[in-house]
Structure 1
Amino acid sequence: MCLAHNVLIRGLNAIYLQGPNVKDPKDVTDFAFFCNAWVKTVHHHHDAEEKVLFPELQKFTQDANVMKENLEQHQKFFEGMFEFDRYMRELDRNSFDWNATKAKLDAFAPDLMRHLNDEIPTILSLKKYDSEGIRKVWKKTEDEAKGDVRLPNMFDTILPMVLGCADKTFEDGKHKFPPFPFFMPYLVDYWFAGTHRGAWRFCPCDMYGNPKPLAFAS
């Protein structure tokens, strides 16, 4: 879960750090798509939690409130996040205003960060339960998150965003995340990411998990 959250946080950091320096209309268009792709990825992650992780944990632990607080936190940032998404989709690339954009981010980002941080202790508290049972629940959630190929924009939007924000050098590279087949980064890089290549300039990593300088950071 920490690794998935790190992807979302790196994407958010990339938006905050590069947004003030985006000026050219073409760059604004790519930046807006990057922001929309990030929202889709955040929503996809939390959708998998609500569909699979939370209800499966409730059943396994026989505790209806085991993830109650974390679920309630979703509602605190969803509205603001989707308003930010709408704002970026309707943006006039010739009159981009970073201060107005930042205000939209600031309206929900603190609640999102609080949720991402609070969820980790909740997950760690599950260590009192059978580890194999927890592993099965996590596997179901993982399959939900990566398995629905019918999801609109999965390949040309969500996968490039995830790969472009997944730092494989984290903790000396001991984690295999995201858990994709070895060929997936190549497939995304050479095929699917090409649809919106300009947007992935804003990613903090390349499609293979190698950190790179932020293209628009000051």
Structure 2
Amino acid sequence: MAPKPWADEPFALLETPSKTMDKSSHYAIVVASEMTHSHNVLIRGLNSIYQQAPLVKNPQDVEDLLFYCQAWVMMVHHHHETEEETLFPDLEEFTQKPGIMAGNQAQHNAFHDGMEKFSEYAKNTKPDEYKWDEMKAVIDAFAPSLYTHLREEIQTLLDLRQYDSDGVKTVWGKTEDAAKGGKHPHLFEMIMPCVMGNVDKTYEGGIHKEFPPWPFFIPYAVHYWFARSHTGAWRFCPSDFWGNPRPLTFQ
């Protein structure tokens, strides 16, 4: 019997640079690897929607799915807002190269409107109006551009090896602090459960168990507090909040 599909398809997960490259040789490899982990979280979330949404029929399940879709969009936006507000300008200042991330910024713009349409669909669609074919068309309009960006940005970060390693480390430290900041109004209620539920601690043989770089108690806080108000939505996550993969709920 063929294995049931999981959140590693239809969009293939990205290989982490540190799987084949020495992280100690330059901090850009650390940055590119951490970004790959983050991008794979976004990809798993997209795949988990793609795999399960066609099978959801019950009105309550549909309501939970649409909330999960909203959380996923917020997660993607939070990730890219952190890049645009912190990482990109800091890299320009550090490298003294205006526009060094302009190509990545342009890629953000390429899928922005499509993701906004997806967000509006998830917010405004009533459970009895939901049709997978309609939602699939909305996703298909932006997903290829998003995936291209997620894949190609890793090489842009690896190219930072031509600059001072400690300087790259400093820039990345500020970006990590910004990503963990509490400015987003739905950071704890929606974004953090979506992030934690799309981590896979077993990926690439379990060599990346340090991701995400959060204190040990965060999964407990998410499970027992932050995720309590929308427990039905987190059924669509492909992992538990400790990063352990599990079978998709709707298969």
Give the TM-score band, short-chain normalised. over 0.9
The AA in structure 1 aligned to 2:225 is: W
Partner of 1:155: 188
* Residue number among 142, 145, 166 corresponding to 2:199 in the alignment: 166
The AA in structure 2 aligned to 1:167 is: D
Q: Does 1:43 align with 2:77?
A: yes
Partner of 1:105: 139
The AA in structure 1 aligned to 2:206 is: G
Partner of 2:32: none
Partner of 1:135: 169
The AA in structure 1 aligned to 2:173 is: K
The AA in structure 1 aligned to 2:204 is: E
Q: Does 1:32 align with 2:87?
A: no
Aligned partners of 1:161, 1:21: CA distance in 2, in Å? 20
Q: When the two structures are aligned, how many residues end up with a matched partner?
A: 216
The AA in structure 2 aligned to 1:75 is: N
Aligned partners of 1:41, 1:49: CA distance in 2, in Å? 13
Aligned partners of 1:119, 1:201: CA distance in 2, in Å? 30
TM-score by length of 2: 0.85
| Cα distance, 1:174 vs structure 2 | 2.4
Is there any run of 5+ residues in structure 1 with no aligned partner, and where? Answer: none
TM-score by length of 1: 0.97
Once the two structures are overlaid, the 10-residue window that deviates more, 45-54 or 171-180, is: 171-180
Once the two structures are overlaid, the 10-residue window that deviates more, 172-181 or 25-34, is: 172-181
* Residue number among 157, 166, 169 corresponding to 1:123 in the alignment: 157
Alignment of 1:6-85 (within 5 A): 6-85=40-119
Aligned partners of 2:206, 2:39: CA distance in 1, in Å? 17
Aligned partners of 2:206, 2:168: CA distance in 1, in Å? 24
Partner of 2:247: 213
Partner of 1:96: 130
Q: Deviations over 1:181-204 (max 9, x none)?
A: 000100110111111100000001
Q: How large is the RMSD of aligned CA atoms in angstroms?
A: 0.8
Partner of 1:194: 228
The AA in structure 2 aligned to 1:56 is: D
Is there any run of 5+ residues in structure 2 with no aligned partner, and where? Answer: 1-34
| Cα distance, 1:173 vs structure 2 | 2.4
* Residue number among 214, 219, 237 corresponding to 1:180 in the alignment: 214
Q: Deviations over 1:112-141 (max 9, x none)?
A: 001101101101111111111101111111
More helix by share: 1
Identity %: 54
